[in-house]
């Protein structure tokens, strides 16, 4: 879920969000295994060599959590001076990151000759007090066996299938702790990070007051140096995120062992917002974190984004017209939408007005439910949609079961609501 900024009426700035495809997520799925669990195609490499590689990765992981630079670098080829320098710097960059765990799991091991192998591994790590389950990143490691001592050494370390990078590979990480937040930043001042932490600390209780289910009530925020670095964390082109103020790396529908959630801030786009816009952006994204377990493939974007916008704007006491300027202008021109926004309307490509009206339409749909049926019914409707096994018919069934309505009736009522609130 992301927040894109645009100029709004009255000199303000408004952010709009959209559900990201799973391929763009930093966290991935939790493994629950360490470096010795599962080896995929490891049978292509002799068993003794496969065990030796896993043992090396075990030592490497232990060195990270112990902050033991000598032990960490002992796994790196002494002849690979550039890699050794980069690896030492990476460990130094991690100094302020409160790690709870760090493990590797080999998913594929292939021989590249008698003394060389390529290991595809899943790195799993947890941030202390913030990750209930591991965040993960795929890495590809090249290793060689030294002919003199018979030991295996790392010769290359690069991103794997998920394409995402890691914050500490971008520079020294500075950590700022808030009451309900931990902000990790690279290339940003302590003042900037503390300001973001204050906004996040304000947003967390707002979200908890609007969402009836229990959630951790704290948020981890990553602040890379540039929009390009933000895109690098997500393994995507920078153009996709240049105008986006923040994005949530929360995979929908993952209670219990789901991957850790992060809000990633684009410092340039976020910094261009005023105080109001920054509060809206982070409250919106943190709402996605809180509702993630109840947001599934059955949830339409108008509901997930509309609910998050409603929580954010409700805390700011904005009128409907102030929160939905593009849609208000269209309604006053007699251009009332014929249908609720489709998922395609929330795509990043296309004109900004269409995107803004999609978010605003979702916001007003959630406002309608809360006004006509009550706050509890809105939350119950959100959960009921997520509880459906398939996307097809999910909204229809939830409308019938929770609101005693039909898609046609609800759409007609929504259109009248737009006229009444925005006309």
The answer to whether residues 305 and 17 touch, using CB atoms and an 8 Å cutoff, is yes
**Coil, strand, or helix at residue 67?**
coil
Model pLDDT for residues 103-126, shown as the tens digit of each residue: 999 999 999 888 999 999 999 999
Print burial letters for 118-152: b (CB count within 10 Å at least 16), e (below 16). Answer: ebbbbbbbbbeebbebbbbbbbebbbbbeeeeeeb
Query: In this structure, is the dihedral angle defined by the CA atoms of residues 135, 212, 321 and 411, taken in order, positive or negative?
Result: positive
Residue whose C-alpha is closest to residue 22's, from 306, 253, 348? 253
Residue 249: exposed, middle, or buried by beta-carbon count in 10 A (0-12, 13-18, 19+)?
buried
* CATH match for 42-161 among 1.10.10.10, 3.10.450.50, 3.90.550.10, 3.30.559.10: 3.10.450.50
Q: pLDDT confidence of 18, banded at 50, 70, 90? A: very low
**CA angle at residue 30 from 214 to 104, to 5 degrees?**
140
Residues carrying CATH 3.10.450.50, the chain: 42-161
pLDDT at 334 over 70: yes
Model pLDDT for residues 62-107, shown as the tens digit of each residue: 999 999 999 999 999 999 999 999 999 999 999 999 999 999 999 9
User: How many other CB atoms are found less than 10 A from the CB of residue 333?
Assistant: 8
The answer to whether residues 188 and 176 touch, using CB atoms and an 8 Å cutoff, is no
173 to each of 74, 90, 96, 114, 184, how far by Cα in Å?
A: 23, 10, 6, 39, 6
| pLDDT at position 261 | 87
Q: Please tell me the pTM assigned to this model.
A: 0.85
Model pLDDT for residues 342-390, shown as the tens digit of each residue: 999 988 666 788 999 999 999 999 999 999 999 999 999 999 999 998 9
What does R_g of the chain's alpha carbons equal in angstroms?
24
Rounded Cα distance, 152 and 305, in Å: 49
- Strand-strand pairing, 219-223 and 263-265: parallel
Residues carrying CATH 3.30.2010.30, the chain: 1-27+166-295
Model pLDDT for residues 125-149, shown as the tens digit of each residue: 999 999 988 888 999 999 999 988 8
Rounded Cα distance, 20 and 1, in Å: 5
**Coil, strand, or helix at residue 207?**
helix
Q: Which CATH code fits 1-27+166-295?
A: 3.30.2010.30
């Amino acid at each position: 879920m992301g927040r894109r900024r645009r100029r709004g009426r009255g000199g303000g700035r408004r952010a709009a969000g959209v559900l990201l495809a799973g391929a763009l997520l930093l966290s991935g799925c939790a493994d629950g295994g360490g470096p010795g669990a599962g080896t995929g195609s490891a049978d292509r490499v002799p068993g003794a060599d496969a065990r030796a590689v896993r043992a090396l990765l075990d030592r490497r992981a232990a060195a990270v959590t112990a902050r033991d630079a000598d032990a960490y670098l002992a796994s790196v080829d002494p002849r690979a001076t550039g890699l050794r320098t980069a690896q030492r710097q990476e460990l130094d960059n991690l100094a302020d990151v409160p790690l709870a765990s760090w493990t590797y799991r080999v998913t594929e091991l292939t021989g590249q000759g008698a003394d060389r192998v390529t290991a595809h591994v899943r790195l799993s790590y947890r941030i202390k007090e913030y990750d209930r389950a591991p965040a993960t990143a795929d890495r590809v490691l090249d290793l060689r066996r030294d002919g003199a001592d018979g030991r295996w050494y790392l010769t290359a370390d690069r991103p794997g299938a998920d394409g995402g990078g890691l914050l500490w590979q971008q520079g020294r990480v500075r950590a700022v702790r808030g009451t309900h937040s931990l902000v990790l930043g690279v290339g940003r001042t302590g003042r900037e990070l503390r300001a973001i932490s204050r906004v996040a600390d304000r947003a967390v209780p707002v979200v908890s007051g609007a969402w009836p289910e229990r959630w951790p009530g704290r948020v981890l925020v990553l602040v890379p140096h540039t929009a390009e670095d933000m895109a690098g964390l997500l393994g995507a082109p920078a153009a996709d995120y240049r105008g986006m103020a923040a994005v949530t790396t929360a995979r929908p529908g993952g209670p219990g062992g789901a991957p850790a959630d992060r809000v990633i801030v684009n410092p340039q786009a976020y910094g261009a917002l005023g105080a109001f816009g920054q509060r809206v952006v982070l409250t919106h994204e943190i709402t996605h974190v809180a509702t993630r377990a109840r947001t599934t493939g059955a949830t339409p974007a108008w509901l997930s984004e509309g609910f998050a916008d409603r929580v954010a704007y409700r805390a700011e006491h904005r009128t409907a017209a102030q929160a939905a300027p593009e849609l208000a202008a269209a309604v006053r021109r007699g251009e009332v939408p014929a249908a609720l926004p489709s998922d395609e309307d929330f795509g990043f490509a296309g004109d900004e007005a269409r995107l803004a009206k999609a978010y605003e339409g979702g916001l007003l749909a959630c406002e309608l439910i809360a006004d006509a049926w009550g706050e509890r019914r809105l939350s119950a409707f959100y959960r009921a949609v997520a509880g459906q096994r398939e996307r097809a018919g999910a909204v229809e069934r939830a409308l019938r079961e929770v609101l005693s309505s039909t898609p046609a009736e609800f759409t007609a009522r929504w259109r009248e609501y737009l006229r009444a609130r925005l006309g």
